[in-house]
A and B are shown apart, each in its own frame.
Chain A
Amino acid sequence: MLSKIEQNLLKETTGIHEVPQGAYSLRINGKLEGKNSSENIEIVSKEDKPGIDIYIKPGTKNESVHLPVLLSSTGLKELVYNDFHIGEDCDVTIVAGCGIHNSGEKDSEHSGVHSFYVGKNAKLKYIEKHYGDGNGQGKRLMNPVTHIELDSNAYMEMETAQIKGVDNTVRTTTAIIEDGATLVVGEKIMTHNDQYAETRFEVDLKGENSGAHVVSRSVARDSSKQLFLSKICGNNACSGHTECDAIIMDNASVSAIPEILANHIDAQLIHEAAIGKIAGEQLIKLMTLGLTEKEAEEEIINGFLK
């Protein structure tokens, strides 16, 4: 039975209210609280270190796995290794989320090292949400590391969101993309107060006709700081696109460093980066619809990060 705090963390990170149905792994306060395999999805605990292996049988379609991690006791630090083995021709969704409630004095930290091995022609949607709350002095820290290997003609869509309450985060994502495979990343980040968020992407477009789109949208409020680093290497005939779009507010600071590297004559790579405050005309337009300036600001930010 989950506590109220845990239920809220679960709702914020994975959108569900109770222990998930079907294949899942639920980790609370550093311990595996429960896991369930299904006919096509097997979840096995690692023996040499904390974490799990998730095996999805080739040809599995329209199934999903939920992997929530909840931390509600202060001062807990953990490092978890999860490996995802997605069989050929699959079409599956993986929902992972980490929620930290820290109302104590000590820092709480969860760092997940996730590796994805996506088989030939497989299609994967990976959704990852990070959330923090609690009014203690202890910080809420998350440092996810994601490694992706897409076999030929695989397609992976990765949606990550960190909207509230994470004090310090360094997100590192690396990917190797084989022939005809495509990776699409959509990242949403909002920082406030004195928070710091750093995200690093490094994509190796290794295969012929491989592709990658890495798009980050972020809002930095108060005195928070953000650093966005994205490097796409075109090592074959491929197409790559990286984009960082940030709204800056108050006394925040945002640095965007996109990098593209072409090592092949047929590599087509684009990078874009834009940082700016909310456009005055956007505020005025919404105010002419009857919203106050504050309401207009929230509406613009919510839309931008939707």
Chain B
Amino acid sequence: MLKLNNISYSVGDIQILKNINLEIDERFVAITGPNGSGKSTLAKIISGIIKQTEGQILLDGIDISDMSITERANLGISFAFQQPVRFKGITVKDLISLAAGEKLSAAAACQYLSEVGLCARDYIDREVDASLSGGELKRIEIAMINARGTKISVFDEPEAGIDLWSFNNLIKVFEKMHQRTNGSILIISHQERILNIADKIVLLKEGTVDAIGTKDEILPMILHQNSGCRFTKEGV
């Protein structure tokens, strides 16, 4: 279980997160909220990329608040970037092997790629560079998280920059992950169809937790409000 106690984060005088208290134990938890509400910042604080200014993070009772990215990763936290990183010379198979923590056979690496809907043989030896499209990179990013198979998998807006066709496939991938995961999936998203899969939805607003509940409780609230935030249906 991941527990956040009074997490706050400020840059200079600007407070981005204020006293966030959360428990994440369900299989699939979505964090949503308007742009600028602090969602991505919170995801980065959990994975150690950004350090909170105040508060405490516990993973299965262990205080990880001061741990590095590497230490957290080895304890069981994975992080999928909103904008996947490109590498010159490093192949898809190299990255998935690094994620799995062992040198994978081509067959094993292909298995992870097939799960995210990529025709594995076409991709396994390709470099993770600018020759791959945004949608392909996103799926490889997800394949890496699956290969790690950690307790907590954090996804920062996996739908960002994805076309409609890829989005429908992405939803299927997350539905499958929801069924199979042995840990918790924590996903930052604006998409109703992703929120629909969630066991629990956390609504962030102006750096604070505005509401927590099931999708039946939270979705009507956010779909009927006119706060200017971009909640959209069906990947539009």
Contacts and interface: CB of A to CB of B under 8 A. Distances in A.
Interface of A: 217, 245, 279, 281-282, 284-293, 299-300, 302-306
Given A284-B49, A285-B81, A286-B98, A291 B70 contact: yes
A245 B73 CA distance: 31
B220 interface: no
Contact of A290 (B81, B88, B94, B101): B101
B90 interface: yes
A6 B203 CA distance: 67
Contact of A279 (B84, B85, B94): B85
A300 B70 CA distance: 16
Nearest to B75: A290
B85 A285 contact: yes
What class of interface size applies to chain B in its complex with A?
A: 20 to 34
B69 A288 contact: yes
A305 B78 CA distance: 28
B148 interface: yes
Interface residues of A: mostly helix, strand, loop or mixed? helix
A282 B85 CA distance: 6
A183 B57 CA distance: 57
Contacts of A287: 68-70, 73
Contact of B73 (A281, A290, A299): A290
Contacts of A303: 87-91, 94
Interface in B157-180: none
B144 interface: yes
Interface in B75-111: 77-79, 81, 84-85, 87-91, 94-95, 98-99, 101
B74 interface: yes
B47 interface: yes
Given A284-B49, A284-B69, A303-B94, A289 B99 contact: yes
